[in-house]
Amino acid sequence: MIKVKRIYEKPSKDDGYRILVDRLWARGLTKEKAKIDLWLKEIAPSNELRKWYNHDPEKWDLFKEKYREELKGKKEFLVQIKKLEKEHRTVTLLFSSKEEKLNNAAALLEFIK
């Protein structure tokens, strides 16, 4: 199972293997408190795409399309996530955005499925 969670939420045993999928580190959070197993910033949207999207709900569908195009060149990271899911049964994709539904981790999960 792969799920999505905001990195500022308290870590849980139910999270399984925790992967931060943001390009930038979460503000105000230490690495110890974040309890991540892997920071996979390479799979995050490019800086240009991230800045263009700016969590504008009206751009969500186009953001997903553009992000999907970027992910086509990063298949090895998608394979890595699927492998980790098999090894750990549960993988949680962590994001730092205040936008809980329309964020890069949700888009990535949709693409993986």
The residue-averaged pLDDT of 73-77 equals 93
- Predicted pLDDT at 3: 97
Does the structure show a pLDDT above 90 at 113?
A: no
Q: Give the residue among 29, 66, 65 at the shortest CA–CA distance from 47.
A: 66
Q: Label residue 80 by pLDDT band (50, 70, 90).
A: very high
User: What percentage of the chain reaches a pLDDT higher than 70?
Assistant: 100
- Predicted pLDDT at 18: 98
Q: Give the residue among 5, 15, 32 at the shortest CA–CA distance from 88.
A: 15
59 or 113, greater pLDDT: 59
The residue-averaged pLDDT of 27-43 equals 94
- Predicted pLDDT at 91: 98
Does the structure show a pLDDT above 90 at 8?
A: yes
Q: Name the residue ranges covered by the structural domains of the chain.
A: 2-112
What mean pLDDT is reported for the chain?
95
Tell me if 97 sits within 8 A of 103, measured CB to CB. Answer: yes
User: What percentage of the chain reaches a pLDDT higher than 90?
Assistant: 94
